[in-house]
Amino acid sequence: MNLRSFLVIVLLSWGTQAVPARPAAVAPVNMIRTELYFGPVPVGQWNQFLAQIVTPLFPDGLTWFDVQGQWKAPDGKIRKLSSRMLIILYPDSPKNDRAIDQVRQQFKSRFHQLSVLRVSSRVTAGL
């Protein structure tokens, strides 16, 4: 099992079940952690979007949460809404950077959304 696969298993099982037995220590690796904040869509359409767009681009895994948020709309009004936050850990590469932007553009186009907020940072991930 590679480091990314193990991290995905840990992230996906965090809080829902026991963490699997730890393999031998693996040296930490540099990764990019991206959070994407999406507007509200029905859960069935969200699951379809994950299956058709996100998973093929990031097959090693991801984590998402239903969240509550607010933002200032272009008309200046504060809007409160249910939304989703997607977290993906991946190696830093131009290909992965383009894939993140593709996820954002596909979501905006498919669901007629104005934006998908992206927050990315360099992290060290290890076991």
pLDDT digits 0-9 by tens, 106-115: 999 999 998 8
Residue 77 identity: K
Q: What is the Rg, in whole angstroms, of the alpha carbon atoms belonging to the chain?
A: 16
For residue 4, the model assigns a pLDDT of: 54
Domain ranges of the chain: 3-125
H or E stretch at 124: strand 117-125
Q: Report the predicted TM-score, pTM, of the whole model to 2 decimal places.
A: 0.76
pLDDT in tens, 32-89: 999 999 998 999 999 999 999 999 999 999 999 999 988 888 899 998 988 999 999 9
At residue 10 the predicted structure's pLDDT band, cuts being 50, 70 and 90, is: very low
7, 29 contact by CB (below 8 A): no
pLDDT band at 18 (very low <50, low <70, confident <90, very high): low
Under 8 Å between Cβ of 90 and 34 = yes
Say which CATH topology domain 3-125 has. Alpha-Beta Plaits (3.30.70)
Q: How confident is the model at residue 102 (pLDDT cuts 50, 70, 90)?
A: very high
Cα 94–98–10 angle (5° rounding)?
85
